[in-house]
Structure 1
Amino acid sequence: MKKFLFTFTIAAVFQSLTAQEITLDKIYSGYYRGKGIAGITSMKNGENYLVIEQGGIAKYSYKTFQKEGNIVDGQFESYEFSDDESKILLLKESEPVYRHSFLGKFDVKDLKTGKIINLNDGKAVQEPRFSPDATKVAFIVDNNLFYQDLNSGKINQITNDGRKNSIINGLADWVYEEEFGHARQYEWTENSDAIVFVKSDESEVPEVYIPVYGKLLYPAEMRFKYPKAGEKNAMVSAQLYRLDLGKTISLDLSSFKNYYIPNVFQTTKPDEIVLITSERIQNASDVLKVNTKTGAVQKLFTETDDKWVDMDSPTLEFLEDNSFLWASERDGNRHLYWYDKEGKLKKQVTKGNWEITDYYGYNPKSKEIYVQTTEKGSINKVVSKINIENGKSQLISNAEGNNSASFSKNYNYFIETSSTAAQPYNFVLKDSNGKILKELQNNNDQLKKLQADNFAVKEFITIPNETGDQMNAWIMKPKNFDPNKKYPLFMFQYSGPGSQQVSNSWDNGNALWFNHLVQKGYIVACVDGRGTGYKGARYKKVTYMNLGKYEIEDQITAAKWLGNQPYIDKSRIGIFGWSYGGYMASLAMTKGADFFKAGIAVAPVTNWRFYDTVYTERFMRTPQENTDGYDKNSPTEFAGLLKGKFLMIHGTADDNVHFQNSMQFSEALIQNKKQFEFMAYPDKNHSIYGGNTRPQLYQKMTDFILENL
């Protein structure tokens, strides 16, 4: 009883001391942490769904809302069913490699017999995947591809030439993983008798050396292949392995675009795989059909663009008759197109001055597709169902905010995850017409805590740029905002191609820190200028060959516009960004030095020559082709213009935007006799986290703003 009373007293004192204020201590203690639902997956019957809970993987009824027990007991990081749901693949523990890749230890449980098999004898693997007939699991170890027979337990090695920093089989190299968005580079055929995979020979790709300090007497070294703009990429080839023959043949792609092979897709036809390929400049992609019995390759069609084709998140969905849906920006917005099985265009399925932002599936009974779109404005994401034959569309989510869906296999139900800038995540079960059946989880408690501490909600506005575009923006003002008072302005942006920071959605990240700054007397604003996404291809792709040029012009224009508002002190405008946003903050403090008093650049790119091939060349071509585009938009070229207070921050083990970027910019500033602050985070990657790193980082940035803005 005394212990309880003491705890209550301390808590009461803490609340009284920090009431009405969002503090860094509260943010990083988890005080405002919200609740979610992990691992939502529909079962094949369409009447049950699964989620990961504390005691295991729980089974719920869509119809009754009731829990029907656990499919598997225990604690798991993730899971995946075989197609027939007779077996389940369970991730027990993992160790990250890069952004998407990880080493994991997996179990396979037979749900009929209860038998558990330790995949690869309990040793770590990468990218395991059931064969469609559920009798085998393929996986990768040490850059080699294997499969394990689940009946006999026998492990069969498909490739033998995999070597670190040399040959990779079925697994993306660093740049493919980072820029094409996935690590697995293989796929089973529908009839489980063959695997098509990508082999990457990265032996000629230059290596990056990153020192690892730790608590070592002599620093260790991390080495990996990283192709920088204009340098050699891995040489890739497509390989076909037939299980019945036990051998691999190389597929002949010489008649097609074959510099990159970003994607491998399974179709609904038993002996067929589809590859998406492109040349280095990424302005055209071939969609290729592979006959896995003969090895013959046929082109279905070529997607072209006068600037670039996005291949990092392609939509390719095969319907029952092996016709397929494909997403394209060819009419100026991202829409869906329907092709027959031979690659002939049947029709454009969606049209309008809005975009398809996600694809959820196709219901063959109703002939409807389920998609997420920007139909209700570029800052909102909504869910609709659309008949692919007559084009009839029905909105089935909220009309505002950011809404996403997880559908039942029969499309009779879906779980909607929704939020707005003012409302945290809410999870609701709905029927196929969007009728609410049951609220599954809300975050009202989180919101109450924030509101009690004077949480400031974003106001959405538009700001004109010099070419007449209306740029989406948000602004945060103090609760006791006085329009007759002059406030300092702190601007945040990211600005990268196709990105979006001005979204009517809940932000569990920087928004809480921005609230902390607002309560310190600042106005915080964010503007999505040219180059950002969800406003059509023209707006997004105008920055082609000149990354940084138009983006910084728009941030300067926004600063001038905001500075002319009666409540902003134009002599006290600051800017902050991370990664691409750090690049922009660096340009703002040099090219825009007359408008920004203080700036913070975290993990900035400072010359696109230092960044990777796939991303940079997609938007810039190579440095050999576009010298001016690289050099005339680099902050290092304008180091002599720095006037205000500047803080640069970087992790020494950043495998993405290398520490080299900040070192080069630092040297340019030093040689121009410019004073600035610099913070290096030992052995931290691009995200700069771990232990007390984030609290220390955000306290440092807060102190810098309070002292200099």
Structure 2
Amino acid sequence: MYQSKLAAIILMLLFSTGEAFSQIQKHVTLEDVFKSDVFSQKSVYGINWMRDGKYYSSLRRDVTGPKVLKVNVATGEEEAILIDGGALGINFSSYAFNPDETKALIASDVESIYRRSSKGVFHVVDLESGNAQKLMDGEKIMYATLSPDNDKVAFVKDNDLYYVNLSDNQVTRITNDGEWNKIINGAADWVYEEEFSMSKAFEWSPDGSKIAFIKFDETEVPEFNMQTWGKLYPEDYKFKYPKAGEKNALVSIHIHDLKNTLTAKVYTGEEEDIYLPRIYWAGSSDNLAFLRMNRLQNQLDLFYANASSGSSKLILQEKADTYVDLNYNDDLRFLEDNRGFIRTSEQDGFKHIYHHDNDGKMIRQITKGNWEVSNLVAIDEKGKKIYYISTEQSPLERNFFVIGMDGKNKKLLGSEKGTYRINMSKDNKYFIADFSNANTPLKVTLHEASGKEIKVLEDNQRLRDNVAKYALGNKEFFEFETVDGTMLNGYVLKPSDFDESKQYPVLMYVYGGPGSQTVTNSWGGSRDFWHQHLAQEGYLIVSVDNRGTGARGREFKHVTYANLGKYEVEDQIAGAKYLASLPYVDASRIGIWGWSYGGYMSSLGLMVGSDVFKTAIAVAPVTTWRYYDTIYTERYLQTPQLNAAGYDDNSPITHVNKLKGDLMLIHGTGDDNVHFQNAVDLADALIKADKQFETMFYPNRNHGIYGGNTTWHLYSLMTDFIKRKL
């Protein structure tokens, strides 16, 4: 009796101990984050809505190769394979249909050039027969685009614009003056691609009879030289890069008529030192719309041009005391039957939607309030509705709304708190929502336009299961008031075993550039899980959105105009001082790190805030705005000729003598964006000031510093530095 009771007690103890042991959660390791992809996230890729509104297509890869699948919207079932890469023997990575969906253009062997540009091998697939027609005998070409009349494909090769007739493979060369580092036809130069978010610079007319394109004459633009390493003799790579205050490319707009083979030059004004960042066909093949901006980007003009003569007239003009942010307001849509256009603007202090007639006169402001429209999703002209994403619920969130074109009957379509991205069907009857928040990985769902959910397309259950196995800290949002009364948003990531009676070191993560945000209610990537690893090692991870960042209106964002770095760093220092006042923070151990603009902020912060910050890591930092490009820099600082102090007063190079803490400087030698020159000159200034620091360069790596073992090496390096110095 006694022995049986004892055995039962032992078994019960063993069971309960095993159960408790099974519930012990793991700690996040660097290997988990950067080598084993434990926290990698799935999505649904290559989704294109089909024209009948009853189906959408999706790109999926399996062991037999890439496939484009036809999916029934109502049932969510895959009903057909539209393109089978395995059967064709083509390992394509992207696809695009022509308007009537009888043909598709697929790209393979794609080679990246800069951030948005690439070239590859293109095939046209006949969707009825399944046959694939190779373009240009497999030569790599850029921006291949099917014509609306299904007969042709336009593309750029060696800086010239071409088109090919699909019926007989006859190639027509539209331009003949293209030359490397001199003339580009139909493709953007480096600075337009990077700062105006464009790479292709041509558009077919709606009937396929004309092609409008932008020509870049960069002959007088200074060259930048990067050496590439790895051979007995390093090689030079030279490309045109206009630094602040230097010459830009001369740009012009041209319209080629395929029938008469004539090319008309569009009149864009007498001033040559301008930007022409957008062209659009406005309702017909006779009317081309284009945007023009002055060099300082404080005036935006919308023109209509006659497609035959090239004559143009001004339709709308917007001016600002600071700047007109095109990238932030890139939502111009032309309505059918000459009913005008819809656009977004910050002109009332917050980004909102406006309706104008065809002559540019404002009909009404559709959305209003002390919040911002993040992006315009779709316009349902028949239903007289506009779908958009906004910050009305919170500047930390992006929520989905619909509103009448008369500005009435606004409705919230996504009820969960977090961040939405929306892909609306062409007939505006359905949408696909990508949703996440700080505690919920990406969830992709299919909905009716009313918001009713039809099907979950991806819920990342594997990731959710993996996350549940780890002792993760929660991201907590907070706000605090600076000395001038400004309220700033932030988040803190605490260790899962956080103890308020202890004191913790703090690592602040910063980007801080104009219009950006790091403090959002959204799921993070590998960088967030690196922060989780550091939290488990006993650090508090904090990020603060300083003045100049986005989603809080024009005044909040534009306060940094002509003085980049001053208010942003003041706010990061204020954030560090606020943290230092908390009982569980070790005020003697506060560090800061950032990448790109964030590297600029972290290095400057360590110097200007030497009494607050102990440590900083600056990855690929701008160290003087004199070295950065025209479009971005002059938008916020004017030119160096007009505002020398704005360039120099808040350069880390100017403040090297103030350095007291520990600095780690990291840069890729192949960075075409923020040149390695920035790190070299800061290092030289630190040496002259007799300041010790640590540095790491990554040979031939670009601004992202990745490839092979690079990411692992970089984050291991930074982790070691933080543990040694913080």
TM class, shorter-length = over 0.9
Deviates more, 1:329-338 or 1:258-267: 258-267
Percentage of identical aligned residues: 43
- Report the 3-state secondary structure (helix = DSSP H, G, I; strand = E; otherwise coil) of the residue aligned with 1:589: helix
CA contact (8 A) 1:228 1:613 kept: yes
After TM superposition, the structure 1 = structure 2 runs for residues 245-324 of structure 1, keeping only pairs within 5 Å, are 245-254=260-269, 259-313=274-328, 314-322=330-338, 323-324=340-341
Shift of 1:623: 0.5
CA contact (8 A) 2:300 2:324 kept: yes
Equivalent in the alignment of 2:144? 128
Shift of 1:255: 5.3
Q: 1:610 to 1:258 in 2, by over 3 A?
A: closer
Equivalent in the alignment of 1:242? 257
Deviates more, 1:635-644 or 1:402-411: 402-411
Equivalent in the alignment of 1:68? 79
Equivalent in the alignment of 1:590? 607
Alignment partners' CA distance in 2, 1:415 and 1:591:
46
- Matched to 1:47, the amino acid is K
Equivalent in the alignment of 1:231? 246
Question: Could you tell me the TM-score, scaled by structure 2's length?
Answer: 0.94
- Report the 3-state secondary structure (helix = DSSP H, G, I; strand = E; otherwise coil) of the residue aligned with 1:100: coil
* 2:61 paired with 1:50: no
Equivalent in the alignment of 2:30? 24
Shift of 1:256: 7.2
Equivalent in the alignment of 2:391? 374
- Report the 3-state secondary structure (helix = DSSP H, G, I; strand = E; otherwise coil) of the residue aligned with 2:47: strand
* 2:104 paired with 1:88: yes
CA contact (8 A) 2:303 2:312 kept: yes
After TM superposition, the structure 1 = structure 2 runs for residues 220-619 of structure 1, keeping only pairs within 5 Å, are 220-254=235-269, 259-313=274-328, 314-322=330-338, 323-619=340-636
- Matched to 1:52, the amino acid is L
Alignment partners' CA distance in 1, 2:306 and 2:262:
16
Alignment partners' CA distance in 2, 1:429 and 1:587:
46
Q: Which structure is larger by alpha-carbon Rg, 1 or 2?
A: 2
Alignment partners' CA distance in 1, 2:127 and 2:280:
28
- Report the 3-state secondary structure (helix = DSSP H, G, I; strand = E; otherwise coil) of the residue aligned with 2:32: helix
CA contact (8 A) 2:264 2:309 kept: no
Equivalent in the alignment of 1:634? 651
Q: 1:421 to 1:348 in 2, by over 3 A?
A: same
CA contact (8 A) 2:298 2:323 kept: yes
Shift of 1:683: 0.5
Alignment partners' CA distance in 1, 2:502 and 2:463:
31
- Report the 3-state secondary structure (helix = DSSP H, G, I; strand = E; otherwise coil) of the residue aligned with 1:425: strand
- Report the 3-state secondary structure (helix = DSSP H, G, I; strand = E; otherwise coil) of the residue aligned with 1:321: helix
- Report the 3-state secondary structure (helix = DSSP H, G, I; strand = E; otherwise coil) of the residue aligned with 1:211: strand
- Matched to 1:26, the amino acid is D
Equivalent in the alignment of 2:42? 35
- Matched to 2:235, the amino acid is A
- Report the 3-state secondary structure (helix = DSSP H, G, I; strand = E; otherwise coil) of the residue aligned with 1:77: strand
Equivalent in the alignment of 1:198? 214
Shift of 1:252: 1.8
Question: Could you tell me the TM-score, scaled by structure 1's length?
Answer: 0.96
CA contact (8 A) 2:183 2:217 kept: yes
* 2:179 paired with 1:177: no
Deviates more, 1:308-317 or 1:367-376: 308-317
Shift of 1:694: 0.4
Cα deviation code 1:17-48 (max 9, x no counterpart): x9611111011121221211101111000010
- Matched to 1:76, the amino acid is F
Deviates more, 1:673-682 or 1:443-452: 443-452
Shift of 1:130: 1.8
Alignment partners' CA distance in 1, 2:429 and 2:423:
11
- Matched to 2:663, the amino acid is F
Equivalent in the alignment of 2:6? none
Shift of 1:444: 2.6
Alignment partners' CA distance in 2, 1:295 and 1:507:
48
Equivalent in the alignment of 1:646? 663
Cα deviation code 1:336-386 (max 9, x no counterpart): 111112222111111111111112211122111111111111000011111
- Matched to 2:531, the amino acid is F
Alignment partners' CA distance in 2, 1:454 and 1:392:
45
CA contact (8 A) 2:210 2:256 kept: yes
Deviates more, 1:499-508 or 1:104-113: 104-113
Equivalent in the alignment of 1:3? none
CA contact (8 A) 1:257 1:285 kept: no
Alignment partners' CA distance in 2, 1:321 and 1:469:
47
Cα deviation code 1:508-553 (max 9, x no counterpart): 1310000000000000000000010011011000000000000000
- Report the 3-state secondary structure (helix = DSSP H, G, I; strand = E; otherwise coil) of the residue aligned with 2:122: strand
- Matched to 1:168, the amino acid is I
CA contact (8 A) 1:257 1:279 kept: no
Shift of 1:468: 1.4
After TM superposition, the structure 1 = structure 2 runs for residues 642-681 of structure 1, keeping only pairs within 5 Å, are 642-681=659-698
Alignment partners' CA distance in 2, 1:606 and 1:249:
44
Cα deviation code 1:612-655 (max 9, x no counterpart): 00000000000010011111010000001100111000000100
CA contact (8 A) 2:447 2:455 kept: yes
Alignment partners' CA distance in 1, 2:271 and 2:504:
59
- Matched to 2:675, the amino acid is H
Alignment partners' CA distance in 2, 1:554 and 1:437:
45
Shift of 1:391: 2.4
Count of residue correspondences: 693
* 2:233 paired with 1:218: yes
- Matched to 1:164, the amino acid is W
- Report the 3-state secondary structure (helix = DSSP H, G, I; strand = E; otherwise coil) of the residue aligned with 1:156: strand
CA contact (8 A) 1:362 1:370 kept: yes
Q: 1:518 to 1:661 in 2, by over 3 A?
A: same
- Matched to 1:600, the amino acid is I
- Report the 3-state secondary structure (helix = DSSP H, G, I; strand = E; otherwise coil) of the residue aligned with 1:38: coil
Cα deviation code 1:42-68 (max 9, x no counterpart): 100001011111240011101111110
Shift of 1:257: 8.3
- Matched to 1:73, the amino acid is D
Shift of 1:121: 2.4
Shift of 1:296: 1.8
Across the aligned residues of Structure 1 and Structure 2, the Cα RMSD in angstroms comes to 1.4
Q: 1:535 to 1:304 in 2, by over 3 A?
A: same
Alignment partners' CA distance in 1, 2:578 and 2:272:
46
